[in-house]
Amino acid sequence: MKTITIIGSGMMGSALAFPARENGHEVRLVGTHLDRDIIDACRKTGQHPKFDRPFPAGVKYFQIEEWKEAVKGCDFVIGGVSSFGVDWFLDTILSELDPATPVLSVTKGLINLEDGTLISYPDYWKRELEKRGIRRSVCAIGGPCTSYELVYHDQTEVAFCGEDSAQIKMMKEAMTTSYYHVSLTNDVIGLESAVALKNGYALAIAMTIGLINRHNGPEAGLHFNSQAGAFYQAVKEMRLLLEMQGSTRDCENIGIGDLYVTVYGGRTRKVGILLGEGKTYQEAMDILAGVTLESLVVSRRVYKAIARKAQLGQAALKDFPMLCHANAVLDEGKDAELPWEDFTFDQTR
């Protein structure tokens, strides 16, 4: 039996308590400073407020002030913060945690550097910790997995990535169940890029659903031609971006799977539909007040990175019409109607 400490009691971090505890491990769930009500509720009911079933018996709950107690003797820590908590996790946890304790992060996203380079959160944390004289490499999870379906025990395929093969093999052994299946890769930037990029593209694909509602009324139901056309373009642009990131083909494929599940469920779908229906960015944000929308952060950062590379002659914006369109909708008030003709190609001689 291992001891696994999860820091961050949001939906995904909390969902991982299910396979971990069901495998017989001791599981300690720690809330951040934003999660006090969640931990209080878990202590009273044994159930996360946003899940429809209780945690497996025996999960232990801690407030953030108790995190050092919660990590004592643990075999590894799972970081369950959102992309908005990256620096908080760096300053509060990673800088204080014993460097010998392995860390597995669920946080999805990329950071754009001044020269247009996109780096993963594990790379960002490693760089920042080295400035503080701390040597640590963080492992990460990527793949098509929604938290509520994991809790429901739907069959789920993900990948763990990390520089230390022994660490991710140990984590896989601890977390694999009959419904949670884990691939392994040392391609950290490839996997992290793939599962981050899908957020911005899922936003654009979801706009097509809202556009159908706008043009034909919500009673028109789902129409798939436009979704499929947008999906094709999203995959095309994602693959080009992932080639630039040096991603392996398997990581590309995981990203495409993650794109699929994000289009059909979750927060990114909601905001995309609202924008497609004709809502302004601010109106959509007002409607979804309190909802964490990491897809918007990713979309903007990737656009800024590619725009910078285009300035340096290292990329061409014309190769990314969907990415440019999504950014224009978010930041320039452009209508959501996609530039369909820009997605066509001519390979005739």
Residue 141's pLDDT is 97
Residue 87's pLDDT is 97
Q: Cα 2 from chain centroid? A: 26
Q: What does the block give as tokens for 196? A: 């981050």
Question: Which residues contact residue 341 at a Cβ distance below 8 angstroms, ignoring those fewer than 6 apart?
Answer: none
- Indicate the fold that domain 194-342 takes in CATH: N-(1-d-carboxylethyl)-l-norvaline Dehydrogenase; domain 2 (1.10.1040)
Question: Which residues contact residue 244 at a Cβ distance below 8 angstroms, ignoring those fewer than 6 apart?
Answer: 315
Question: Which residues contact residue 251 at a Cβ distance below 8 angstroms, ignoring those fewer than 6 apart?
Answer: 142, 159, 161, 185, 187, 190, 191, 193, 194, 242
Given a contact cutoff of 8 angstroms between Cβ atoms, the answer to whether 87 and 27 are in contact is: no
Q: Which residues in the chain show pLDDT less than 50?
A: none
Please report where in the chains the tokens 């139901």 appear, as a residue: 221
Residue 298's pLDDT is 87
Q: Give domain limits for the chain.
A: 3-186, 194-342
SS3 content of the chain, % helix, strand, coil (to 5): 55, 10, 35
Residue 218's pLDDT is 81
> Residue 92 has what DSSP assignment?
I
In three-state secondary structure terms, 166 is helix
Residue type, 209: I
Torsional sign, CA 157, 158, 164, 170: negative
Residue 206's pLDDT is 94
Query: How does DSSP assign 306-328, residue by residue?
Result: HHHHHHTTS--GGG-HHHHHHHH
Torsional sign, CA 93, 95, 98, 102: positive
Tell me whether domains 3-186 and 194-342 share a fold.
no
Question: Which residues contact residue 348 at a Cβ distance below 8 angstroms, ignoring those fewer than 6 apart?
Answer: none
Residue 199's pLDDT is 86
pLDDT tens digit string along 151-167? 999 999 999 999 999 99
Residue 77's pLDDT is 98
pLDDT tens digit string along 222-257? 789 999 999 999 999 999 999 999 999 999 999 999
- Indicate the fold that domain 3-186 takes in CATH: Rossmann fold (3.40.50)
pLDDT tens digit string along 174-205? 999 999 999 999 999 999 999 999 888 999 99
